[in-house]
Amino acid sequence: MKVSLVVNGSPREVDLPPLSRLLDALRGPLGLTGTKEGCAEGECGACTVLLDGDPVNACLVAIGQCEGRRVTTVEGLACAGHLSPLQRCFVEEGGAQCGICTPGMLLSAEALLARSPDPSELEVREALAGNLCRCTGYQRIVESVRAAAALRRGGGGAAP
Amino acid sequence: MATSPPASASTVGRSVPRTDGPPKVTGASRYVDDIPAMPGEIFGRTVRSPVPRGILRGVRLDPAFDWSDVTVVLAEDVPVNVVALILDDQPILATGKVNHAYEPIVLLGCADRLKLARAVQAVALDIDPLPPVLDARAALDGGEIIWGADNVIKRYLITHGCADAARERGEASEAAIDAALARCEVVVTGTYASHHQEQLYIEPQGVIAWWDEAGAHATGSIQCPFYVHKAFLKAFGLPPDRIHITQSVTGGGFGGKEEYPSIIALHAALLARKSGRPVRMIYDRTEDIEATTKRHPASCEITSGCDRDGALRALKIRILMDGGAYATLTQVVLSRGALHAAGAYRWDDVWIEAAAVATNTPPNGAFRGFGAPQTIWAIERHLDRVARELGCDPLDLKAKNVLRPGDSTATGQVLRVSVAGEECITRAIAASGYRQKRAAGPVVRGRVARGIGLSVFMHGAGFTGSGERYYKGKVALDLAPGGRLRIRTASTDIGQGTETVFRQIAADAAGLPLDRVEFAVPCTTTVPDSGPTVASRTVMVVGSIVEAAARELASRVRAEQAGQEPGAGEGDGGAAAGPPALSFEEAADRLLAREGQVTSLKQYEPPDYVRWDDEAYKGDAYPCFGWACDVVEVEVDLDTFEVTVVDFWSATDVGKAIHPVMCKGQIEGGSLQAIGWALSEEIVWQGGRIKNPRMTNYIIPTSLDAPPFHVVLVEEPFPFGPGGGAKGIGEMPMDGGAPAVAAAIEHATGIAARALPLTPERLLEAAWSAGRGERL
Ligand code: FES
Ligand code: FES
């Protein structure tokens, strides 16, 4: 089945069985290995991408559901070679340790900041509750997201 | 004029952006499964035993299945069928008998993933089941012998004081400790149990292996590349230079990628050897949880004696650990457990007997803390009971007896340097308001009770005993063009920040800016064996080799700079007659041009005072200890017994924080693993098989379960540590969380739990028995 979708702003087409996972399309034919697989059952959130702006687990989305839709992956966050405020803050505030959960975390956080530019700590924790991290204890991640929110509000970086 | 050596600001102690950060936040980092397929690559799978114990009669391949494009590897295809580690007791593929569920028996390889999955179904295993031994106590009793002569993998005895004197006189040390206990004013006895824990790194185990004219190659998610190298040496009988093991970016390990990767790498390499093609083996989550190592369950029987005023006198502990089917690293885990069993306290007389036995469950192995969390859980819970017996707050009992400079430990190690137990207690208490909250008593609001508790602990930094003398870890530093340095080490960055911290240490030691230092990908062909990336030794031990090598290399460049300065130019007021002095870069390039390669290869020298007797288990078990005090505040729902950790304070002595943000990140992450172990993480067994091998039912904490962490970094420098005194940090935060959580629950509810995990079901049960007056 041929599916046309817009990935990180560019129109792309893949030819896969309709029940193939969006995750496989991204990591396979689309060559975007930034999206990770941790559990294949919608629990870990490592595979989180944005589908028309909403965070989804790419391991639970069939490619057949993606016709004509917009997908944002971690590869689409940096702008013209510059890290987005979220990415910068994850590097600076210790939000990424082993980094395997980071792409998914970033996209969940991106969706949060898009709808809530000044989130409380609880809001951040709620938004990230579907993304498991075994390294950080989440403290640095929460701080990274809040620092990025401040940076975006202050115009300290181009929002992607 | 000379532009360098640049007067670079010191980077040690500053939280510079981690060097592997940008690729990780852009998705550019290549973890093993992100590496593009090699030409002809196939996938590998493992067929595993469905039963925990049995006689393996044979393997049948369904004749109706098309095997033409499937590679099949059986035990008979393995040149030397053993996973080389400490005791070499574990086969690469089971043959003759099966010793645990999920034991690998057959390997399959195929280019088509779907067909490969069907091929697994087309293999029939002919196994006559035998009654399994699934319980450590039963294994120790020896009714069925499943390992060695008596199921016992290892035993240790640690004695101190009167028990030691008795041992020297050739008398029974146990009788001596019993007598010492009998003389004490207050004697308390209890048994404290802990359970399996799964590392649950988010990136599953994975390796890609291939063979070519250079020999065997494997790249993957690996904590200790030289372990895999050693395993290949034995299994394939290759010369060392024909084995090439490379770490790919690794998505967490926590010990789970210490020894296990040897197995998956051997499997992939066997398939690659037989098929003549590169093989990619990536476990799915279920296979990963089922087949890989976990934390050793342990039970500790403790009897202690003290004076009525709380001075601790005598301690007797019997530790039993469940090693699972094969020895793996069990003897080392048991050793660390035993060496930490007396806690961070001073005792006159100590007797610790530790044993680890084999059972028919998957082999247990390395996990952050490495045996210490199990025994620290026990001693901390026990001292909480003693405090109750004495009618004092656990804080007072612990603070009174915590080891101070000049005191000696259970192995007779006199603590001379870097002793910060008292300071950690003071700082944690101040930060958390423990005294006031504790004095106010449990606060009950509606159905929620709030309580606060603490733990005090120390953790040996570096290898145990003579480990370093035996291992002789090495690091190489190369001079690269433009006055750059390149660190070559086998110490891997699996998320903890090794790469960044080593660059900071080297940059400061060489007096160079951080961006002039590179970190080479750990590959056994190009880096020296620095020893494994374990046991909090990376920064303290390997970091100090990096520091020494960087100093040496920089001084050679500086000598070159100095040597090139015209003597005539000296002392004449910088007359324009002489050519300008060489810059650091120029001198480095000149040195390189002349010598071709400029490298400093250094080996670790343990501090001379470290003396350890492996036979008697006496002396300096560790060059020094890290110290900490954790304080936890919880809320317990009195109807459902759900526990919420509301706040977590930790004052942790790290010697010197090379990178404060990453250091705090380690403490927070480790503490959350400890909270998970305490409250929710549980492997559920049924007949030797795991009932919950998925992320849906093996529950680790989410961001909503994690409390805010308040970390106080205490810095009591270790004079032999790099960067001005760094000690290990990685393992310690696993030690204190569980007992502190239990103490807080006890404060809130009165329930004194003695077995982990503290799930609502268990707490309810404990509350029920308490209601019937059966508690304690
Ligand atoms: S891989 Fe999709 S949620 Fe875990
Ligand atoms: S940084 Fe390792 S899992 Fe989150």
Cα(B200) to centroid of ligand 1, in Å? Answer: 13
Confidence at residue B712, expressed as pLDDT on a 0 to 100 scale: 98
The Cβ of residue B401 has, within 10 Å, a number of other Cβ atoms equal to 23
Residue B3 has pLDDT above 80, yes or no: no
Cα(B664) to centroid of ligand 1, in Å? Answer: 28
Contact between chains at A140 and B695 (C-beta distance less than 8 A): no
Q: Provide the shortest C-alpha distance from residue A60 to chain B (in Å).
A: 14
Two tokens, residue B385: 């009971």
pLDDT band at A37 (very low <50, low <70, confident <90, very high): very high
Q: Are B735 and B194 within 8 A, CB to CB?
A: no
Of B199, B695, B704, the CB nearest to A125: B704
Two tokens, residue B765: 């049960």
Confidence at residue A160, expressed as pLDDT on a 0 to 100 scale: 40
Mean pLDDT of B638-643: 95
A42 ligand 1 Cβ < 6 A: yes
Q: Cα(B450)–Cα(B637) distance, rounded to whole angstroms?
A: 9
Contact between chains at B26 and A75 (C-beta distance less than 8 A): yes
Q: Which residue of A has its CA nearest to B29?
A: A34
The ligand with the least distance to the CA atom of A99 is 2
Tell me the angle at which helices A139-153 and A102-115 cross, rounded to the nearest 10 degrees: 40
Q: Which residue of A has its CA nearest to B198?
A: A134
User: 0.90 cut: is pTM over it?
Assistant: yes
Q: Cα(B401)–Cα(B348) distance, rounded to whole angstroms?
A: 11
Q: Cα(B567)–Cα(B200) distance, rounded to whole angstroms?
A: 63
pLDDT band at B582 (very low <50, low <70, confident <90, very high): confident
End-to-end CA distance of chain B: 78
Atom 2 of ligand 2, residue of closest alpha carbon: A98
Please state whether beta strands B104-110 and B42-48 pair in parallel, antiparallel, or not at all (unpaired).
Answer: antiparallel
Contact between chains at B25 and A137 (C-beta distance less than 8 A): no
End-to-end CA distance of chain A: 32
Q: Which residue of B has its CA nearest to A136?
A: B669
Please give the number of the atom of ligand 2 that sits closest to the Cα of A96: 1
Mean pLDDT of B655-684: 97
The Cβ of residue B305 has, within 10 Å, a number of other Cβ atoms equal to 23
Upstream peptide bond of B757 is cis (omega within 30 degrees of 0): yes
The ligand with the least distance to the CA atom of B18 is 2
pLDDT in tens, B214-253: 999 999 999 999 999 999 999 999 999 999 999 999 999 9
Two tokens, residue B18: 């981690």
Mean pLDDT for chain B?
A: 93
Residue A81 has pLDDT above 90, yes or no: no
**CA B537 to each of CA B52, B261, B737: distance values in angstroms, whole numbers, following the listed order:** 36, 20, 22
Confidence at residue B537, expressed as pLDDT on a 0 to 100 scale: 83
Two tokens, residue B54: 């049995």
Q: Cα(B331)–Cα(A145) distance, rounded to whole angstroms?
A: 43
Contact between chains at A124 and B703 (C-beta distance less than 8 A): yes
pLDDT in tens, B457-466: 999 998 877 7
B702 contacts on A by Cβ (under 8 Å): 128-130, 132, 138
Confidence at residue A85, expressed as pLDDT on a 0 to 100 scale: 96
A92 ligand 1 Cβ < 6 A: no
The ligand with the least distance to the CA atom of B252 is 2
Of B494, B661, B695, the CB nearest to A98: B494
**CA B484 to each of CA A78, B10, B14, B69, B544: distance values in angstroms, whole numbers, following the listed order:** 29, 17, 21, 50, 19
The Cβ of residue B439 has, within 10 Å, a number of other Cβ atoms equal to 8
Residue B574 has pLDDT above 70, yes or no: no
pLDDT in tens, B135-158: 999 999 999 999 999 999 999 999
Q: Residue B104 is which amino acid?
A: P
Confidence at residue B231, expressed as pLDDT on a 0 to 100 scale: 97
Strands in B512-654 per DSSP E: 517-519, 599-603, 612-613, 618-619, 624-637, 643-653
Q: Which residue of B has its CA nearest to A96?
A: B21
Q: What b/e sequence results for B502-515 when a residue is b if at least 16 CB atoms lie within 10 Å of its CB, and e otherwise?
A: bbbbbbbbbbbebe
B201 contacts on A by Cβ (under 8 Å): 98, 100, 134
Confidence at residue A157, expressed as pLDDT on a 0 to 100 scale: 45
Contact between chains at B668 and A140 (C-beta distance less than 8 A): yes
Q: Residue B97 is which amino acid?
A: K
Mean pLDDT of B428-437: 98
Contact between chains at B668 and A139 (C-beta distance less than 8 A): yes
Q: Cα(B119)–Cα(B109) distance, rounded to whole angstroms?
A: 9
Contact between chains at A38 and B203 (C-beta distance less than 8 A): yes
Question: Model ipTM?
Answer: 0.96
Cα(A46) to centroid of ligand 1, in Å? Answer: 5
Atom 3 of ligand 1, residue of closest alpha carbon: A42
A125 contacts on B by Cβ (under 8 Å): 703-704, 706
pLDDT band at B771 (very low <50, low <70, confident <90, very high): low
**CA B206 to each of CA A48, B181, B252: distance values in angstroms, whole numbers, following the listed order:** 21, 52, 12
